């Protein structure tokens, strides 16, 4: 049985360019007990690979979290196959606002300890006891309630390019950090309406259950996250209360939601909201870099990275052999070494 990718990203990219096959980008998740994630992983991989599905999927004992690119011609086959699994027959598919052919270049289905890392070690905690799910219209209405606190459950690099009006956006690098900070800052506001949102709903699903577990009375979450909100706003002609871009975890990196640019280039401060990765593969830092700085710095975050990136590829590989990414890739633009350019 073939349970791994045969093609490299470059080979897959060439095939996608040649076929120009229309694809649907979607995500789904479900918290459900899976006794043997490895078996489910292998079954999914065998069929999904056979119909050219690409994406990144996490499976654990607590459930599944998936971001996929499905050939439009095989979308019905995908849905029918997923419904055959009793565990997943009722999952809700979040269809992306925009679709690109090369959003994913491989099929990666990874077995993990948890589908969302949370640092929760209390065995009495039940992630299925969630807050109330709201559609876009009800979410908008509750936002206007004076007793409501709107909470962004994403990381700082996501919220800095786009968020809901008036939202509390924790300055955190990880989801596990946000749980601790929010609980500490809001411990005397347990009678407030906690109105949470994230990209596709999976982090809010766990967060809403956690805050209910911690004694908060009125806990709500945006069903399907920002992705579903965008779709409902367009389909139902609703007021859009999201400003900026929605950060997404594929090659697109973001989806435009409104015309406002609320972020700035990390190097020169010009209003800009497009992320990039440092061209030095030994760094690969995710940060915001405007077109002007990208040209000056050759798509690098620092002088040292630019010098390395200008070297012959063989020398670059020798330098980074046996080393981990040196510039704190998971700090997402908050490292001190980013060169500041004064114009």
Please list the active-site residues: 198
Q: What angle do CA 211, 149, 220 make, to 5 degrees?
A: 50
Which two structure tokens, joined as six digits, stand for 85?
A: 């699994």
Task: Give the whole-angstrom CA distance, residue 319 versus residue 93.
Answer: 44
- Nearest CA among 227, 4, 194 for reference residue 106: 4
């Amino acid at each position: 049985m073939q349970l791994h990718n045969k093609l490299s990203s470059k080979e897959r990219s060439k095939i996608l360019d040649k076929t120009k096959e229309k694809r649907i980008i979607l995500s789904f998740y479900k918290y459900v007990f899976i006794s043997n994630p490895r078996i489910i992983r292998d079954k999914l991989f065998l069929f999904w690979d056979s119909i050219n599905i690409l994406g990144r999927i996490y499976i654990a004992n607590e459930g599944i979290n998936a971001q996929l690119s499905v050939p439009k011609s095989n979308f019905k086959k995908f849905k029918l196959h997923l419904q055959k699994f009793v565990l997943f027959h009722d999952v809700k598919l979040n269809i992306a606002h925009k679709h690109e052919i090369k959003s994913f270049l491989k099929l990666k289905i990874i077995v993990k300890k948890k589908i969302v890392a949370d640092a929760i070690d209390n065995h009495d905690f039940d992630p299925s006891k969630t807050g109330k799910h709201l559609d876009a219209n009800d979410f908008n209405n509750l936002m206007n309630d004076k007793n409501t606190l709107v909470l962004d459950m994403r990381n700082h690099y996501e919220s800095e390019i786009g968020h809901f009006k008036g939202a509390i956006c924790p300055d955190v690098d990880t989801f596990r950090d946000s749980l601790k900070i929010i609980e500490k800052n809001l411990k005397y506001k347990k009678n407030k309406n906690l109105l949470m949102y994230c990209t596709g709903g999976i982090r809010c699903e766990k967060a809403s259950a956690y805050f209910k577990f911690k004694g908060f009375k009125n806990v709500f979450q945006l069903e399907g996250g920002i992705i579903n909100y965008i779709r409902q706003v367009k389909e139902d002609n609703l007021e859009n209360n999201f400003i900026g871009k929605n950060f997404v975890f594929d090659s697109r990196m973001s989806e435009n939601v409104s015309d406002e640019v609320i972020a700035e280039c990390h190097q020169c401060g010009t209003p800009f909201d497009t992320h990039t990765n440092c061209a030095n593969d030994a760094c690969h830092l995710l940060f915001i870099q405007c077109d002007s700085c990208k040209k000056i710095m050759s798509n690098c975050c620092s002088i040292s990275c630019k010098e390395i990136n200008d070297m012959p590829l063989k020398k670059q590989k020798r330098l980074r052999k046996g080393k981990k990414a040196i510039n704190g890739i998971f700090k997402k633009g908050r490292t001190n070494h980013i060169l500041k350019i004064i114009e």
